[in-house]
């Protein structure tokens, strides 16, 4: 996984690209985008509770099938609450989720099986990009050491790379939006 910083910036970029009214006053909407952009990594929780946080990480939770499932759950919730724009909600939620999965295909993976189950349920094969853009994330295999391991020095490199990729894109998106607003 890129760290939550990278996934959150990707979610924020999606927010800037998709929403018409993009102000920080809509912080609850922004938080929803960031939540969906990080959602697949909740697969760490069940393993974490069992003492092995990586046990289910990058399995079927990181797949096209789960991306669609997440969108369907949002649709069910919105229908229950009587809200509209269901197709839009489906595409945004599933899009954010699947973008996370695709980003995870681009990171150096040092533990077998490499990559994620990208196309599950169509295929159970693990997929990793032939071109890797992110250095590996250092994380412990036991719950006791897991959270502390995320703060080790090696992960600073990954944070730096994530900021290097995403901050210029966020800056450019803000610039484009500002110019668009100022256009007569
Ligand atoms: Zn992930």
- What is the 3-state secondary structure of 87-112? HHHHHHHHHHHHHHHHHHCCECCCCC
pTM of the predicted model as reported, rounded to 2 decimal places: 0.93
Mean pLDDT confidence for 18-32: 89
pLDDT of residue 102: 97
Backbone angles phi, psi at 121, to 5 degrees: -90, 5
**Residue 16 maps to a domain:** yes
Report CA(162)–ligand 1 centroid distance (Å).
Answer: 14
Report d(CA 82, CA 21) in Å as an integer: 22
**Residue 107 maps to a domain:** yes
Report CA(59)–ligand 1 centroid distance (Å).
Answer: 10
pLDDT of residue 7: 97
Exposure string (b/e) for 70-106, b if CB count within 10 Å is 16 or more? bbeebbeebeeeeeeeeeebbebbbbbbbbbbbbbbb
Report CA(100)–ligand 1 centroid distance (Å).
Answer: 6
Mean pLDDT confidence for 89-101: 97
Q: Which domain holds residue 113?
A: 4-45+55-182
pLDDT of residue 3: 85
Structural domains in the chain (count): 1
Beta-carbon-side half-sphere exposure of residue 158 (alpha carbons within 13 Å): 26
**Residue 50 maps to a domain:** no
Report CA(137)–ligand 1 centroid distance (Å).
Answer: 11
**Residue 168 maps to a domain:** yes
Report d(CA 53, CA 47) in Å as an integer: 4
Which residues have a beta carbon within 5 Å of ligand 1, which is an ion? 1, 40-41, 104
Report CA(6)–ligand 1 centroid distance (Å).
Answer: 11
**pLDDT for 1 beyond 60:** no
Report CA(168)–ligand 1 centroid distance (Å).
Answer: 22
What are 145's two structure tokens?
């050491």
Report CA(4)–ligand 1 centroid distance (Å).
Answer: 9
Where do we find the tokens 């295999």? 141
**Of 28, 12, 33, the residue nearest 174 (C-alpha):** 12
Mean pLDDT confidence for 89-112: 96
Q: What is the mean pLDDT of the chain?
A: 94
Report CA(7)–ligand 1 centroid distance (Å).
Answer: 8
Report CA(181)–ligand 1 centroid distance (Å).
Answer: 35
pLDDT of residue 84: 85
**Of 134, 180, 182, the residue nearest 17 (C-alpha):** 180
Integer-rounded Cα Rg, in Å, for the chain is 17
Report CA(39)–ligand 1 centroid distance (Å).
Answer: 8
Report CA(99)–ligand 1 centroid distance (Å).
Answer: 10
């Amino acid at each position: 996984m890129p760290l939550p910083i990278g996934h959150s910036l990707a979610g924020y970029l999606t927010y800037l690209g998709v929403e018409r009214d993009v102000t920080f006053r809509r912080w609850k909407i922004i938080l929803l985008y960031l939540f969906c952009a990080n959602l697949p990594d909740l697969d760490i929780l069940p393993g974490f509770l069992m003492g092995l946080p990586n046990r289910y990480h990058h399995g079927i939770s990181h797949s096209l099938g789960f991306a669609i499932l997440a969108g369907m759950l949002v649709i069910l919730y919105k229908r229950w609450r009587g809200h509209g724009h269901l197709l839009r909600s489906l595409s945004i939620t599933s899009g954010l989720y699947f973008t996370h999965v695709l980003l995870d295909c681009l990171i150096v993976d040092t533990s077998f099986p490499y990559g994620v189950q990208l196309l599950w349920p169509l295929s159970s094969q693990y997929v990793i990009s032939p071109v890797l853009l992110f250095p590996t994330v250092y994380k412990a295999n036991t719950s006791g050491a897991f959270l502390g391991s995320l703060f080790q020095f090696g992960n600073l490199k990954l944070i730096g790379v994530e900021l290097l990729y995403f901050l210029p894109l966020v800056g450019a998106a803000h610039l484009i939006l500002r110019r668009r607003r100022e256009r007569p």
